[in-house]
Chain A
């Protein structure tokens, strides 16, 4: 009996000791702007870490800063992370990830989130090998799937209009993909570049009469003005296709989109490997989220009088 009590006490002590001695991690999360998809990346990331046993409040301290889309502040946030000597930096969206990678200076590992073109952003060399102590998950949009779905839903459509901000590299590279693929699905792409959200109303007035529908990218400026885009397009009776779930929730008709919570989660799992010292950020190959899901907004679908065919209906996630 005595022996078993002693054993039990010893066991408890060992458990307590491992708990107390368990490595404490500090992670700096920098987010470029405030909007649904990027917020999803962040929550997904923290979930991903938790799944690997690194839990906020227990053995993880998260320093979260948001640059509110101010370029002057991105660099300052990143240098503060470096000054606080965090164990790992996370940059959500391209400019923030670049600022982190610069401030980390090869001394602190960096995970990028929601970067559509990691090669053009300088994180990955042209041969697909990480440029330094940086890795992450890219959010290249499933353009082919989107075009196929639009073809099925709008059999007579010829021209797709895309509104994008000329300052966003993500949008520029996605439009290139759209243009190279649109022929296969019998579409033409009519693009319209803007430089600030103030240009959106005029740009839409010029664009809408020329197209049969709009397709949104993950362009930050356009997404932030989505209500206006939808308002103008609905008045013109042109459906707007989105690029992820949040946009469909807000009134886009449908989207072959990415799940940003899942993207964040994958990043969190990568980060856990790096924090535990199981792999270096320089060696973990970056990933691309490829598996699209179809989201449809039933109310909008009904208002345009469109019904999904069987193939789409089976895999569609309906959003009220």
Chain B
């Protein structure tokens, strides 16, 4: 049971990240490498704010603003300076590494002695039986809130333009709208979510480390694809929900690989095999539905 809760907790944290990457990767069709640095950016801002006595909840909007600014820079480099999408993300990712170090002051900042959104006087005041479930409920609500806000946004005119920019830029131009602006906006929203996820992760693990961003994009893309491929048959399910489920499943695969008790050498191989199995099984179900 405790293991399942652990998977859910971490799955929900990375779900917020995956929602952000869903915007760039699926909607805008933009391979945004800056994610690997905006995730630790949110964490760095959080670590330095909390260790200087700011309220843990305040770190969330501040991290989002910083992430949005970083995303906007990626967009500006791409749109205004006509740098290729992949390269503009790489440029921002590379530069942010130093900025993250400057923000945090050093490569590793522990927060064990400070209140976080998961550990504070309010939580320790809860009945002892419910305390263990507090983080998972809080994280579920947070991921749900992000999903609902994103669904609402995607149904507005601006959200519609965002979807159109990825699918059919000519349509956006024919509506007399600037697709460049839409891209910058999309990257800002996406990286705001990524930084939010980094902020929450930092509070959850109670330390910041400069290398915590390595591999973030791969993990997020895997979650997005996993969720969307597997649940494509379910027409009623929104893509945003599929992404959240995908993220939990991804963490579940790692947990399963860990608890199989095989040689630590094989951890990544087992994770890869499990992911492949899920995708293939998901694909088979879909075929059956198509024929029926």
Contact = CB atoms under 8 A, between A and B. Distances in A.
Interface of A: 31, 34, 63-66, 68, 70-73, 75-77, 79-80, 82-85, 94-95, 98-99, 101-102, 120-123, 131-132, 166-169, 172, 195
A86 to B, nearest CB: 12
B210 A166 contact: yes
A94 B110 CA distance: 10
B117 interface: no
A192 B136 CA distance: 43
A199 to B, nearest CB: 11
Contacts, number: 103
B209 A95 contact: yes
Contacts of A84: 3
B264 A64 contact: yes
Interface residues of B, number: 39
Contacts of A34: 264-265
Contacts of B219: 72
B108 A95 contact: yes
List 5 A-B pairs, minimum CB-CB distance, nearest first: A122-B110, A66-B264, A83-B2, A79-B6, A83-B3
B267 A101 contact: no
A75 B107 contact: no
A84 B5 CA distance: 12
Nearest to A119: B110
A34 B264 CA distance: 10
Interface residues of B, dominant DSSP: helix
Given A83-B3, A94-B108, A122-B207, A76 B254 contact: yes
Interface in B199-255: 204-207, 209-212, 214-216, 219, 251, 254-255
Nearest to A196: B214
B215 A169 contact: no
B110 A168 contact: no
A65 B108 contact: no
Given A72-B215, A101-B112, A167 B2 contact: no
Nearest to A195: B97
B212 A98 contact: no
Interface in B26-43: none
Contacts of B9: 79
